[in-house]
């Protein structure tokens, strides 16, 4: 089928899907959650109902009886597939569902039936189990991953393995959350508060004081357990929403409470150019901070307006040049593919502009619309047309960045345009170690602040245990003593699993 026809039919199907409900009938198997996730790749905007009751009506029928049966029936499509039972019935059923929905919608997700968020982690684990060649075969034949995406996962996995090897059994990284921003971007799904209102601004100093206390508490636990700090990441939100003094206090507290002699990297997100001042940059420069992030998202002023950012593209350039002048030699820039009002040409311009500034890292995200983002009510549905546009942006990225940069970490989010990925690109030896440590879950992440999640990693095996902090700053402030209680689990965990 010609591509135009495919896309038109996909768009039509997805539009149809957006107006109705897809019923998934599950008979004699337990893969309902996986099948639902797969169907969501094709019909991201549709209501999905899972039932065990058989009926002749429209929808997807799945059964694992004497054989595997999958039937897709809609107003204008009906097809049945069967296959013998095998060693992995779930995977077999997934491929059959993928095949029917690809034919129905004309849309062929490039990550195949892979719905997990960490393709490179899966590749590394599969390679350990089966060897390199068999792992490749598994990605192509079992998961139906395209050559383009396999090549990306391969490059990322090769880079990550070198960094993962740096991690020791008693290693950990520290994450600090600053959940405040100057205004809220319309696509934002983080817990970040805009400090535009008096009420939100008043929370900041109280929050900062408690955060220093939490950092001190974590420091005591770390000393008692003899853990080794590998990397620090201050994110959010926009940490540079804090004043220069507040930033200085925060960093001094990390220096005071932790042994930084083995710390390989200290990142502070200075995400929004409208929060960056020379005074704040100098505070960061005169500290152990080794990497900052200045995030344009786009270099189009019109698109910036569409997403509710109160700064111009020029301000990003000015902030970047100032950071360079002051001496920062490792700067990341985030871009987003698929922003409202952006085009492939517009995204290409933004990427070219970022490359011309010559940052050490460029991270290209795919727009993902979560329920908590303001854009969700707008007409930003993940249609085939939108998926094709974002796919074009990512293909341009591969070509444009491959010469000077290489992909070093990657993850996927649900509800991203075209079910595509977010990829961090870096120049030689400038990988953000924290991103890899955190994404590949190779050691414990101890976290402080609202919305932060501590992830405890056992000495051996894949066991991970999470401790959640309160999500919003006001809850964090009112429930702080409860967090001290929850932290007792850190020592218990290390006593049990080390
Ligand atoms: S800068 Fe980031 S965290 Fe802050 S509102 Fe925008 S997207 Fe959300």
The CATH number of the domain holding residue 170 is 3.80.30.20
Which pLDDT tens digit goes with each residue over 445-497?
Answer: 999 999 999 999 998 888 999 999 999 999 999 999 999 999 999 999 999 99
213 ligand 1 Cβ < 6 A: no
Confidence tier at 9 by pLDDT (50, 70, 90): very low
Nearest to residue 173, comparing CAs of 241, 218, 229, 97? Answer: 229
Domain ranges, residue 10 = 3-105
Verify that 341 and 412 share a domain, yes or no: yes
Q: Are 62 and 93 in contact (CB under 8 A)?
A: yes
CB contact set of 56 (below 8 Å; sequence gap of 6+):
none
Do residues 264 and 398 both lie within one domain? yes
Least confident of 174-178, 254-258, 406-410, 414-418: 414-418
Of 180, 182, 184, 304, which is best to mutate to test ligand 1, by the most ligand atoms within 8 angstroms of its C-beta? 184
What pLDDT is attached to residue 41?
A: 85
Same domain, 98 and 186: no
**Residues 6 or more apart from 296 whose CB is under 8 A from it?**
273, 313, 316, 333, 334, 335, 350, 353, 354
Separation of 269 CA from ligand 1 center, angstroms?
A: 11
Contacts of 3 (CB under 8 A, 6+ apart): none
Does some domain include residue 290?
yes
Whether 35 and 152 share a structural domain:
no
Q: How far apart are CA 364 and CA 139, in angstroms?
A: 23
Of 191, 234, 271, the one to substitute when testing ligand 1's pocket (max ligand atoms within 8 A of C-beta) is: 271
* Mean confidence (pLDDT) of the chain: 91
Q: What pLDDT, in 10s, does the model give residues 383-400?
A: 667 788 899 999 999 999
Do residues 310 and 455 both lie within one domain?
Answer: yes
Q: Is the same domain home to 50 and 172? A: no
pLDDT for res 6: 35
Read off the pLDDT of each residue in 161-180 and give the average, rounded to a whole number: 95
pLDDT exceeds cutoff 60 at 3 = no
Closest CA relative to residue 250, chosen from 328, 175, 192, 321: 175
Establish whether residue 251 lines the binding site of ligand 1, counting it when its CB lies within 6 angstroms of any ligand atom.
Answer: no
pLDDT value at 90 more than 50: yes
Residue nearest to atom 3 of ligand 1 (CA): 237
The alpha carbon of 250 and the centre of ligand 1 are apart by a number of angstroms equal to: 20
Distance CA 71, CA 79 (A): 6
190 CB within 6 A, ligand 1? yes
Mean pLDDT across the stretch 153-158?
96
DSSP 49-62: EEE----SSSEEEE
In a domain, residue 111? The reply is no
0.85 exceeded by the pTM? yes
Residues 152 and 213 in one domain: no
Same domain, 334 and 414: yes
Which residue among 189, 268, 272, 276 is best mutated to probe the pocket of ligand 1, counting the most ligand atoms within 8 A of its Cβ?
Answer: 272
Residue 113 lies in a domain: no
Q: Assess if residue 450 is contained within a domain.
A: yes
For residue 497, tell me if it sits in a domain: no
Output DSSP code: residue 275.
Answer: G
Instruction: Kindly tell me the burial class for residue 197, based on how many C-beta atoms sit within 10 Å of its own C-beta (0-12, 13-18, 19 or more).
Output: exposed
- Are residues 143 and 206 located together in one domain of the fold? no
Contact 354, 299 (CB under 8 A): yes
How far is the CA of 411 from the CAs of 111, 121, 170, 435, 439, in angstroms? 12, 9, 25, 10, 8
Q: What pLDDT sits at residue 72?
A: 97
Residue 84 binned pLDDT confidence (cut-offs 50, 70, 90): very high
C-alpha–C-alpha distance, residues 235 and 340, integer Å: 25
The percentage of the chain sitting over the pLDDT mark of 70, rounded to a whole number, equals: 93
């Amino acid at each position: 089928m010609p591509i135009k026809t495919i896309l038109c039919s996909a768009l039509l199907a997805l539009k149809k899907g957006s107006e109705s409900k897809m019923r998934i009938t599950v008979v004699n198997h337990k893969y309902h959650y996986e099948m639902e996730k797969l169907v969501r790749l094709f019909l991201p905007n549709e209501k999905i109902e899972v039932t065990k009751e058989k009926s002749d009506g429209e929808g997807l029928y799945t059964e694992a009886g004497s054989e595997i049966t999958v039937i897709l029936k809609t107003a204008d499509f009906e097809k049945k597939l069967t296959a013998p039972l095998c060693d992995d019935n779930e995977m077999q059923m997934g491929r059959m569902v993928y095949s029917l929905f690809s034919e129905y919608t004309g849309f062929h997700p490039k990550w195949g039936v892979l719905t997990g968020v960490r393709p490179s982690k899966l590749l590394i684990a599969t390679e350990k189990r089966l060897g390199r060649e068999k792992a490749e075969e598994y990605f192509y034949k079992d998961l139906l991953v395209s050559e383009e995406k396999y090549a990306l996962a391969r490059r990322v996995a090769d880079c990550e393995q070198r960094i993962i090897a740096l991690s020791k059994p008693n290693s950990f990284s520290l994450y600090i959350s600053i959940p405040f921003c100057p205004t809220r971007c319309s696509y934002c799904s983080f817990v970040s508060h805009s400090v535009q209102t008096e009420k939100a601004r008043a929370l900041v100093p109280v929050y900062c004081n408690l955060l220093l206390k939490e950092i001190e508490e974590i420091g005591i636990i770390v000393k008692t357990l003899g853990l080794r700090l590998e990397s620090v990441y201050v994110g959010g939100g926009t940490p540079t929403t804090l004043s220069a003094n507040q930033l200085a206090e925060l960093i001094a507290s990390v220096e005071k409470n932790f042994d930084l002699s083995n710390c390989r990297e200290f990142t502070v997100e200075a995400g929004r150019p409208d929060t960056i001042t020379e005074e704040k940059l100098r505070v960061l420069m005169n500290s152990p901070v080794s990497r900052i992030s200045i995030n344009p998202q786009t270099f189009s002023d019109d698109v910036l307006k569409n997403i509710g950012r109160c700064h111009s593209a020029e301000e990003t350039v000015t902030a970047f040049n100032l950071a360079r002048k002051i001496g920062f030699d490792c700067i990341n820039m985030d871009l987003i593919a698929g922003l409202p009002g952006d085009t492939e040409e517009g995204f290409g311009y933004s990427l070219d502009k970022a490359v011309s500034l010559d940052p050490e890292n460029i991270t290209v995200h795919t727009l993902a619309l979560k329920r908590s983002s303001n854009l969700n009510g707008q007409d930003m549905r993940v249609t085939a047309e939108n998926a094709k546009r974002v796919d074009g942006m990512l293909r341009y990225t591969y070509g444009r960045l491959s010469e000077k940069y290489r992909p070093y970490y990657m993850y996927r989010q649900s509800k991203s345009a075209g079910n595509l990925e977010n990829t961090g690109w870096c120049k030689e030896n400038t990988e953000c170690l924290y991103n890899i440590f955190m994404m590949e879950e190779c050691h414990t992440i101890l976290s402080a602040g609202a919305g932060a999640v501590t992830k405890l990693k056992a000495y051996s095996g894949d066991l991970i245990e999470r401790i959640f902090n309160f999500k919003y700053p006001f809850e964090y402030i009112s429930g702080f003593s409860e967090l001290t209680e929850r932290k007792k689990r850190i020592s218990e965990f290390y006593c049990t699993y080390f």
